[in-house]
Amino acid sequence: MTAPDETALPIPSANMTAAHASVAMMERLANGVGSRASVTVVYGEPVTAAGVTVIPVAKVGFGFGGGTGSEAGAAKASDGGGGGGKASARPCGFIEIKNGSATYKPLRNPWLDVLVPLAALVAGTAVPGLARRLAERRLK
């Protein structure tokens, strides 16, 4: 992977307005992170062992925001600016290549294996009692 061309975007300087400096900074950050945000960077290269290749799959995302403004109603307007961002990566599963066949294997949340049957048990226990109470109220 090659590094992005850092000369393509302006570098904030002292003679730029806050608005231009904020935009330039956000463009540089987005360009730098966007070119590096990938599954390979987060989880590594595919692994091959015993004739089986495993390729990690992940959701990788990032976002940035920024703003600028000036003080309203002041004798001398002062520029201001700010920005922020977030990057995240979450494993989703893996692709297994074996005997010339590729299969996607999603990662499951282990809590689902516990909570879904437990919720069904609670609902199965509570619903008949609620139905009986509603029927009794209607008869009164």
- Picking from 60, 64, 52, 1, the residue whose alpha carbon sits closest to that of residue 27 is 64
Structure confidence at residue 56 (pLDDT):
87
Task: Return d(Cα 3, Cα 52) in angstroms, integer.
Answer: 32
Task: Return d(Cα 15, Cα 24) in angstroms, integer.
Answer: 13
Structure confidence at residue 102 (pLDDT):
93
Percent of the chain that is helix, strand, coil (3-state, to 5) = 35, 35, 30
Domain range annotation of the chain: 1-107, 109-140
Structure confidence at residue 9 (pLDDT):
47
Sign of CA dihedral 10, 16, 20, 23: positive
Task: Return d(Cα 95, Cα 56) in angstroms, integer.
Answer: 6
Digits of tens for pLDDT over the chain (140 positions)?
444 444 454 454 555 666 676 677 777 766 666 555 566 666 778 889 999 999 888 887 777 777 766 666 655 556 666 777 777 878 889 999 999 999 999 988 878 888 888 989 988 898 888 888 888 888 87
